[in-house]
Each structure stands twice: as C-alpha cells, then as structure tokens.
Amino acid sequence: MAERKPIESWLTDMDGVLIHEGTPIPGAADFIKRLRESGKPFLVLTNNSIYTPRDLQARLARMGLDVPVENIWTSALATAKFLDDQRPGGTAYVIGEAGLTTALHDIGYVLTDHEPDYVVLGETRTYSFEAMTKAVRLINAGARFICTNPDETGPSTEGPLPATGAVAALITKATGKQPYFAGKPNPLMMRTGLNAIGAHSETSAMIGDRMDTDVLAGLEAGMQTFLVLTGLTSEQDTEKFPYRPTKTVPSIADLVDLV
C-alpha cells in the first residue's frame, strides 16, 4: 500500500469538531492557533447555509476561535460556486437565510419567483408552507431543484430540528423531482473548497464528527480522514459503515501536534 504524503492542508467541520452548542471544544483554539502559525492552507466547513462567512467569523471569535473570513467555507458558498459554473448570471427562487441569498447575490444571480432557472433550498428556522408550495409549483413548471445540503435534522438546545434534507423530501414527494445536493457528502464541496485555498487532495486531510457526511466526503475527494468523537458519531457507530476513517481520535485536541 502506497505511503500517504505529508498533510500540507487541513479541512475541518465546525459543529461537533470545533464547537458544540455554542461552546468551543477543548483543544479547538489550540488547533486553530497552530494552523495559523504554521501557514498551512486550511478551511473550516459547515453544511449550515444560514450564516455568511462574516457572521460565522464573528460567532467563532466570541468563543475565542480566531478564523479569518477567507478560511470559512459553507454549503451556501459551494452551492453558489456550482450554480455560477453551471449557469452564470442565472435566476433562482430561494428558500433560505442571508448566508444563501448573499452568496447568490455575490455571483450575480437574480432572486425571483418569476420563471426562475432554479429553486434553491437552504437552511432556515422559519420554513413556511407558502414558500414550499411556491417551490413545488415552480419545480413542476420546469425550474431545476438544488439543495445546499442533505442534513435531515439540525441541532438545537431543545433537541433536533427538521433541516434542509427533510424539507427537500417533502418537495420531492410533491413533485417527483430529486434535488442536487451541493454540500457534504458531495465531494464537490471539498474540491471547490480545496481549489479556493490552492490545496491538493492527496496532501490534505478532513476532520469531522460524522461518518455519513464528513468522512464520506473526505474519502470520496481523495483526502485522509480523521473522525473525532465529540459530535454525533461514537466509536461503535463506525462499525456500521462499509468505509472507515484514516484514524479515529477522541477530539480535536489529539490532532494539534499533527499540524
């Protein structure tokens, strides 16, 4: 078996790896500090499309995690990059928050409910029946269906919330049309992120807390993968999957010395 090349760039998930319910995970600040001191390219990723990178930078800074805006990569940015490559200067009907609408505005998209090229579904805490009905009718009329990510639930202090994947299933049931998911585990999100920082998959690593999104996306993009046990996946859970991470560690603190 060919020996792995040294890791020259790092991609890491945010929730469950660096933070948990608004609190930094021990070792996260040290890991980010070591990355910044090393000068190695890195990205903090999230499938959540609610926030802009600037929003997330401020949120992380309040927790003591100093991550520059250009080192944050969201499913909203990956979706916008995909649409810009596919149909530059297009139109979209959007269900989502500022993270998604800003990303689409920044690539020159017009947001409209009049014969849009795409219906783009992202994360929001206020999914409305009216908006979903409009999405169904536009897709039935010929709009292409895009989703930022397939996550079916999202975390909250009260418990799981229905997320983009669950609402996408509702729209699919009503239209018979499957969406294209731009976020993890689609390796497209990883490849566009790597391109954004000028990194290569064979010398990159992905850190995540989920086997079905983080590890799978890293694996399919050709990267080394590290699973941390501070999020959704337990060590026992890993045995249920037909693929494995390169290495499983208790937390991000165990990876500081690898940078």
> In this predicted structure, what is the pLDDT of residue 2?
56
Q: Closest by alpha carbon to 205, among 158, 148, 249, 152?
A: 249
Q: Closest by alpha carbon to 67, among 24, 107, 103?
A: 24
Q: Which of 13, 117, 209, 214 is catalytic?
A: 13
Q: What percent of the chain has a predicted confidence (pLDDT) above 70?
A: 98
3-state helix vs strand vs coil in the chain, percent to 5:
40, 20, 40
- 3 has a pLDDT exceeding 90: no
**Residue 55 annotated as catalytic:** no
Measure the CA–CA gap between 64 and 249, rounded to whole angstroms.
23
Tens digit of pLDDT for each residue in 97-156? 999 999 999 999 999 999 999 999 999 988 999 999 999 999 999 999 999 999 988 767
Q: What percent of the chain has a predicted confidence (pLDDT) above 90?
A: 90
pLDDT band for position 4 (50/70/90)? confident
**Residue 113 annotated as catalytic:** no
Measure the CA–CA gap between 171 and 176, rounded to whole angstroms.
8
Handedness of CA 77, 187, 9, 29 (dihedral sign): positive
Question: pTM for this one?
Answer: 0.93
Measure the CA–CA gap between 182 and 180, rounded to whole angstroms.
6
CA distance readout (Å), 172 to 87, 107, 162, 227 = 23, 27, 16, 32
Q: Which of 15, 117, 151, 209 is catalytic?
A: 15
pLDDT band for position 158 (50/70/90)? confident
Number of H helices, E strands in the chain: 8, 15
Q: Closest by alpha carbon to 228, among 2, 1, 13?
A: 13
CA distance readout (Å), 174 to 102, 140, 162, 200 = 28, 9, 18, 41
Tens digit of pLDDT for each residue in 186-213? 999 999 999 999 999 999 999 999 999 9
